[in-house]
Structure formats: C-alpha cells, structure tokens
Structure 1
Amino acid sequence: MARTTPSRPADIVAVFPELAPLARQTVRLHPRSGMPTAYDSSVGGPLLWPADEPWPVCTEEHCSWVLPTSLGGVRRSRQLRAVAGRRPQQPGAGTLTPEERELLAAIEQTHEWTDEPNALLPVAQLYMRDVPGLRGPEGTDVLQVLWCPLDHTEHFMPKARLVWRSSQAVEVLLASPPEPVHVDHMGNYVPEPCALHPEVVTEYPAPYELDDELRERIWDWGSRVKAVAEPDHPYPDEHEAYYQYELSVAPGWKVGGWEPWSFSDPRRIPCRTCKVPMVPLLTIASGEWDAGNHSWIPVEDQVSLAEPHGKRPSNDPRVRIPRENMQIYICPVSFDHPHAENMQ
C-alpha cells in the first residue's frame, strides 16, 4: 500500500516567501513490516550480495561499559514480547508472566564480549528505480547500507558502511550471510525486515538553519496561529515550535532533504578528503511520528490509528537512535570520498 503524506496544515511559503528558494525534495521511505527479498528495496531485509564477495566486518573499538547481547537473543526476546502482547490482559497485570520475565533475564545474562571481528548487519537496500533522485557512481543502480550494531567510542552510535553496486553484475547470491557476534544490549540497532513505500515530499530548513530575524518572525507567527487553533493547550510555550514540528523537516526514514537539527546547532560537515561541505544521503530515524508531529502521519496510517485495535506503525523497523536520528552524509564531489555520520 502506498503512503500519502497529508498536505501541510499551513502554506508556509505563502506566509514567508523568503523560504521558497530553500525548499528541498526528500523521499520519505515509510518502512513497514514485510518480507522483502534481496531484489527489493528494504530496511532490515536481505541484501543482493555476491557469493564471491567477502562480507564486511568491524574491527574498531566499541563502547565496552555496557554488555552486548546476541542477535539470536534479541530475536527471541522480541518474539516472546510479541506473543505476550497479543494475550488478553488483566487490569493492573503486566504483559509478561513470571516465567517469561525469568526467561528474558536469562537471555540477557548469557552473553559476553569476545575479541573476534563483528560481522556487519544489513540496515537498508535502496534500488535507484524506487527512490526518485537517488544517484550513485556510474554503472550502479543500488545502494546498500550496513552497520556494526554496537555503540562505537568515537561517536557513541553504530558505524555504517556504504556499498554501491550494479544489480546486473550479481550472478550468484550469498546464501547465508555472516551474522554479528555482538549487538547492542537493548537490540536498538537491529532493524526488523520492512518493505518500503517511497514518497517525494517538500520540506524546509529546521529553524536554526534560518537567519535570526526570519526565525523570530516565524516563531511569533506560529505562536499566534496555534494560540487561536488550540486555546486550551496545556503548554502554550510549545506553540512557537509549530514550524519546526509541522512545517519544516519531514520526520522518519528518508533520502536527501534537510537535516533534523534539534539537539545541537546546525553545522556544515566537511568532507575529510576535499573539505567541501557534505550533503545528507540517508536519515535513519527512531520513529515516523510522535506526539508533536501527528500531521505527518500518512493518510493510510491515520485510518488504521482510528480503529480500536488498529496497527500503529510509527517504528516498524524497531530501530532506536539515542538522539532520535542518525544521518549519513556523502561528498558531492566524489563517491570515492568517505562518508560521514551524525546523530541528531
């Protein structure tokens, strides 16, 4: 099923024409639980990987103060919680039985660090035919993103690897890719298999990308508009964030577009090779919506949310980034230059 982002609740360019030149197209990926194959675009699905090409591993230093767990342990834990969540619940009772809690504790305590290299885990596979505007090195038609599913000491987040390839050059698939020995303790970096429903939308810079004068005028306007629309809002100080949450940067997994600056001030990320400012390639998100940005919920999902027991797919991949989003940047000069990562 396609996903359709509703029209924005206000025409921000009509109010502030100076934003028009700053518009960017982004592709919201809308990952939803599915069974993608190696021949599909996906999040957390199998990769089109040649049988004769070595699978990448991580040998870098990991944050060691939190014990890891195993990939199998994360999967067993998720299955157990899913089964428990489908049972009728008694008022005041937890979803897990004492036996299930004991089993979960045992799963979490039976894994220890080893020194062997950690196989990378598939994060996303994007066929250019499915993602408007996505371009790679000449002769390639698919982007594959893998990462080591542990926090790394440099940036306290996973370490990603980008692979651009030609699907036509892959003759024999790798049947059983290696799996990581270690994943993060909570399984936050283990994406569940999801099909994608790409959609092109227009977005505008986050507030702190704007000059001070324009930003203040937008904040004042947002406060006035929301005060009229929501006079009984319990936190009226949040009204000035109207532009930030509802009219600027699209939430969720996406390709291209603007950066979702929030926890730190905007900054340009220079290419380590040529010093040219890098551009956003992929945003990996902890969810597609939250309490503050419901207007971005696709029309098709709003129908489900309105049902008493409807599916609530704001984070089907089950990925959780400590600061909500991880962005991967590439150099606009050369695909051979190393990519960069930033957490927001």
Structure 2
Amino acid sequence: MVRRTPPRPVAVEEYLPELGSLRREAVRLHPRPGSPSCHESSVGGPLLWPVEEPWPVCDGEPERGVHEPGTPFVPVVQVRREDAPGIPFPPGCDLLQVLWCPFEHGEWCCPLPLVRWRDSAAVTAVREAPPPPADALEDHVPHPCVVHPERVTEYPSWDIPKNLRDVLRDRMEAMERSSGFLFHYHLADAPGIKLGGYPGWTQDPVWPDCPDCGRRMDHLLTVASREYDGESIRTWLPVEDRREVDGRQRASEEASTGTGMMLGDVGGVYIFECRTCPARPTSHWFDCS
C-alpha cells in the first residue's frame, strides 16, 4: 500500500521565504510489520549479504550489559536505490545496508551502527543472518517491516541558525497563531525512520565533522523509536493510516511502533556520512528525551 503524507497545511515559505534556501528533500520509509525478502527494502528484514563476505561482528565493550567478543550485528535498514529518490548513492552501488550492535555503547549508551553500500547484482549467493544474541536488548532489535518509501520536503527546526531564528521569530509566531500549527512539530522535519532531510533531533543538534577532510558531514539516516507522537500525528500521519476516534485523529499501533524499537527515552540514532571523501566515512549521534 502507498503511504501519502497529507499536503502541508501551511505554505511555510510564504511566511518565511528565508527558509527556501534551507529546504531539503527526505525519504520517509513508513515501516509496517511484514515479511520482506532479502531482495526488498526493509526495516529489520533480511539483508542481501554475499555468502563469501563474513557477517560483521562487534568487539567493542558496551556500557550496559556484557557481550562476548564477536557478537553479531543485527539488520536495521536495507534500502534499494529505486526506493530512495534523491538520495545520492556511491557510483556502482544500488543498495544501502545499515546494521548495528544491539547493546549500548559509548558515553550516550546507543547501538553501534555500521553502514555498507553494495551492488546488488554482484550478490549471487546470500548469507543468512545469524540470530540476535540471546541477551540483546530486545527493543534494539527491530521487528521485520516492509517499507513504503515517500519523498517529502523538510525545513530545519533546531537547525535554523541562531541569527536567522532571531529574524524569523515574530513572523513564525504569527504564522503559528493564525494557522494553529506549530512549526517544530507540524511543519518542519518529518518524524520517524527516514533518509536525507534533517535529523529529527530531540536535543540540540550535533553535526559531526569528517575525520578525513574536516567538512561537516551529511545526514544519511534517522532511525527513530516511533513514527509519530501526540503532536506530529496531526500533520505527518499518512492519509492511509488516519482513523477518526471521538473526533480526533488516531493511528494504529503498528503505524506508530511497528518496528518494536525503543531507543533510550523515545530517542533516535542519526547516521552521517561524508559525500566528499571517496571512502564515504560515516559517524553517528544519539539523543533522547
């Protein structure tokens, strides 16, 4: 089934034309429980992993829990290029795969992600993923979900430069009063699991710099705990998932939490890459409420 985000209820750039230069395109994945194959885009589904390539394992020391050296990573996201319009794939690659160690690592206690790009046509025999570790954090292992990719337009929220926020403040407040919609929750950046666009920050933005060239890295992927919350549901819930109950918009449980993930206190993992350096080095950040 197609998933369609409702048309924006406010023409943001008519009120705030300065944001036009900061407009970005994102691809919402809209994961819903299902049984994807290794040849399909998915969240938590099987990966098209070549049998001759060892399955990645984690040898790091987690902050919470203890795992044995060689703990296998678990599949998180697989996206085919045809399902990610506008997202730049490396030359010769048509498949993005993201895995992570399902234990908490580092100062901020988040899963440790790994990014792989590949040419799907080069995979002739597929390696089956090992089962998740028996003691893995259950809410860090996504349930298999099919996806319904949709391209949407986003504007920065917490990423608006401070000097521009000062310029826009009065007009933004007037826009919110006249429309009844809050810029941050209803109009700026889409919630949920998505490619491109802006990270769905909960706390202040933290953009990493490339360790090789020093330039600020690009946002590749947000992996969020939930697809919606009580506020964002008003404008970001797809038309196909809308149900009116007692005069209010509601979403099915699978539309909101079908992946089964809970990262910290309704947090998100943001994965970044440098698109300037040939090796496309990656980094990540995690925040929550």
- Provide the TM-score with structure 1 as the length reference: 0.76
- Aligned match of 1:121: 74
CA change 1:335–1:152 in 2 (3 A) is farther
- Conserved in 2, the CA contact under 8 Å of 1:207 and 1:215? no
SS in 2 for 1:150: strand
Identity %: 38
Of residues 330-339 and 33-42 in structure 1, the stretch that sits farther from structure 2 once superposed is 330-339
Q: CA shift at 1:114, angstroms?
A: 4.9
Paired letter, 1:203: E
- Aligned match of 2:147: 196
- Aligned match of 2:102: 149
- Aligned match of 1:98: none
1:9 paired with 2:9, answer yes
Q: What is the rounded CA distance, in whole Å, between the counterparts of 2:216 and 2:67 in structure 1?
A: 38
1:315 to 257, 262, 265: 257
- Aligned match of 1:340: 283
- Aligned match of 1:234: none
Q: What is the rounded CA distance, in whole Å, between the counterparts of 2:129 and 2:101 in structure 1?
A: 18
Paired letter, 1:260: G
Q: What is the rounded CA distance, in whole Å, between the counterparts of 2:168 and 2:193 in structure 1?
A: 26
- Conserved in 2, the CA contact under 8 Å of 1:22 and 1:204? yes
Q: Which runs of 5+ in 1 are unaligned?
A: 68-112, 230-238
Which digits, 9 at most, give the CA deviation of each residue in 1:191-241, with x for residues without a partner?
Answer: 000001000110100145242323422442245226xx5xxxxxxxxx7xx
Tell me the number of residue pairs that the alignment of Structure 1 and Structure 2 aligns: 281
Q: CA shift at 1:60, angstroms?
A: 0.4
Q: What is the rounded CA distance, in whole Å, between the counterparts of 2:119 and 2:251 in structure 1?
A: 40
Let me know the Cα RMSD of the aligned residues.
2.3
Which digits, 9 at most, give the CA deviation of each residue in 1:24-54, with x for residues without a partner?
Answer: 1111110011100001000000000111110
SS in 2 for 1:149: strand
- Aligned match of 1:262: 202
CA change 1:276–1:176 in 2 (3 A) is closer
SS in 2 for 1:143: strand
CA change 1:218–1:330 in 2 (3 A) is farther
2:120 to 167, 188, 192: 167
- Conserved in 2, the CA contact under 8 Å of 1:269 and 1:278? yes
2:210 to 271, 275, 286: 271
- Aligned match of 1:253: 193
SS in 2 for 1:188: helix
- Conserved in 2, the CA contact under 8 Å of 1:45 and 1:123? yes
Which digits, 9 at most, give the CA deviation of each residue in 1:304-339, with x for residues without a partner?
Answer: 8789x9833112111122252211000021251431
- Conserved in 1, the CA contact under 8 Å of 2:242 and 2:251? no
- Conserved in 2, the CA contact under 8 Å of 1:121 and 1:146? yes
Paired letter, 1:196: V
- Aligned match of 2:57: 57
Q: Which runs of 5+ in 2 are unaligned?
A: none
- Conserved in 1, the CA contact under 8 Å of 2:220 and 2:272? yes
SS in 2 for 1:214: helix
Q: What is the rounded CA distance, in whole Å, between the counterparts of 2:63 and 2:245 in structure 1?
A: 38
1:32 paired with 2:32, answer yes
1:326 to 269, 276, 279: 269
Q: Which has the larger radius of gyration?
A: 1
Q: CA shift at 1:274, angstroms?
A: 1.1
Q: CA shift at 1:285, angstroms?
A: 0.8
- Conserved in 2, the CA contact under 8 Å of 1:125 and 1:145? yes
- Provide the TM-score with structure 2 as the length reference: 0.89
Q: CA shift at 1:267, angstroms?
A: 4.1
- Conserved in 2, the CA contact under 8 Å of 1:284 and 1:326? yes
Of residues 318-327 and 197-206 in structure 1, the stretch that sits farther from structure 2 once superposed is 318-327
CA change 1:178–1:54 in 2 (3 A) is farther
Q: What is the rounded CA distance, in whole Å, between the counterparts of 2:269 and 2:245 in structure 1?
A: 27
- Conserved in 1, the CA contact under 8 Å of 2:207 and 2:216? yes
Q: What is the rounded CA distance, in whole Å, between the counterparts of 1:288 and 1:198 in structure 2?
A: 13
Greater share of helix: 1
CA change 1:117–1:182 in 2 (3 A) is farther
1:244 paired with 2:244, answer no
1:180 to 124, 130, 133: 133
Q: CA shift at 1:115, angstroms?
A: 3.0
Paired letter, 1:263: Q
Greater share of strand: 2
